[in-house]
Amino acid sequence: MTRIVFAGGGTGGHLYPGIAIARALVAARSTIEPFFVGARRGIERDVLPKTEFPHVLLDLHPLYRSAVWNNYKTVIGAAGAWRHIGDMVRHDRPAVVVGTGGYAAGIMMAYGVLHGIPLVQQVGDSHPGLTARTFSRWSYEIYLNFPEASRALRSHHQGSLIDTGAPIEPPPDPRPNKGAARTRWGFPPTGGHVLLVYGGSQGSLAINRAVASWIDRGLPDDVYVIWGTGRGTHSQFARYDGGRVCVRDYLSPVSDAYAAADLAVARAGAMTTAELFAWCIPAVLIPLPTAAADHQTTNAVTLEQAGAAVHIPQSQLTAERLDSTLRNLLGNEAELRRLSDGAARRARPHAAAAIAQHILHVVDRA
């Protein structure tokens, strides 16, 4: 068996790409054994035990920029993690380390660099994070969701910056029938438009409040809404469920919503936008303003400039602004088609399989 270590996490955007790539690697070559290294305090604590992959969760912490006195936790956790990784590598040395970003990736990637283990990265955002930028110069290959990210990365390996798109679960082929998908949500199979509101797996209170106020103003004719509120705030908005609005705490599988949707209101995370565009769904993007280095705003601006989305800063998100934007889009089929075509141009539904092949070439060369 050939072990490949995946290092990354903290958030879903740094974990789920690794899982998608790992599954594509196993599908391509049965002798590959993916192994995940993550943080005890990240989303991987809940997600990885439900997967088929062996893993270890370490006492890793981010850099505390606004509370620098807490950085002693980062230093102590890193020292303990380094020792644990050393014991693990001596027992079973990996052929490659795959970094998927976030604070949970740094120590494992540093260990790989210092001990001569080939390093590759998957970079999800248009403005790469600190970990991705730091280790770009030692990475054999870097797989980009946004080709624009190459401006911030430095690699010593020629041709190492590869535009692959984000590794996601691709839409089924053939695509589900849209009329049947709408019917499953209790909507008529034809006529009008279906709007998907999706603030990510945890939901977005800011988006939820704006959407609730927008509905209170009077839902436009022939508009149907699939609204994933997130579990934490579902009770505040459950009363809107009924008629032309379906309110759910969590959209699972989210593909059922994608199959029915004509337009989305969503955050601007790398995985969310990659999934929407794989389904050719244009989006009104409201970036999370507290995201690291404000990378979601960079994502949203980049995608708006590419003709795939409309950007509304959260500071400008009101029921009035949302109503005006949605009515202009839903009342203009030509504009919806233009955005849908832009989304299709950005789509890379088979990115995970493509990245897996690149990694296997690195393994074989190593």
Distance in angstroms (rounded) separating the CA atoms of residues 136 and 76 = 25
Report the phi/psi class of residue 32: left, alpha or beta, with left for phi > 0 and alpha for psi in -120 to 50: beta
One DSSP character per residue, 126-179 reads SS--HHHHHHGGG-SEEEESSGGGGGG---SSTT-EEE------PPPSSPPPHH
Structure confidence by residue, pLDDT tens digits, 295-309: 899 999 999 999 999
Structure confidence by residue, pLDDT tens digits, 77-136: 677 778 888 888 888 999 999 999 888 899 999 999 999 999 999 998 888 888 999 999
Tokens for 131, please give them: 């970990």
**Contact indicator for 217, 319 with CB cutoff of 8 Å:** yes
For 27, the 3-state DSSP assignment is helix
pLDDT band at 162 (very low <50, low <70, confident <90, very high): very high
Average pLDDT, the chain: 91
Q: Give the position of tokens 């994070």.
A: 129
Q: What is the mean pLDDT of residues 170-196?
A: 94
The domains located in the chain, with CATH, are 2-170+350-365 (3.40.50.2000), 178-346 (3.40.50.2000)
Longest alpha-carbon distance in the chain: 64
Q: What local confidence, expressed as pLDDT, does residue 71 receive? A: 66
Q: What local confidence, expressed as pLDDT, does residue 237 receive? A: 96
Q: Measure CA of the first residue to CA of the last residue in the chain; give whole Å.
A: 15
Report the phi/psi class of residue 344: left, alpha or beta, with left for phi > 0 and alpha for psi in -120 to 50: alpha
pLDDT > 70? residue 64: no
Give the single-character DSSP code of 204. Answer: -
Tell me how many degrees the CA angle 265-271-277 measures, rounded to the nearest 5: 60
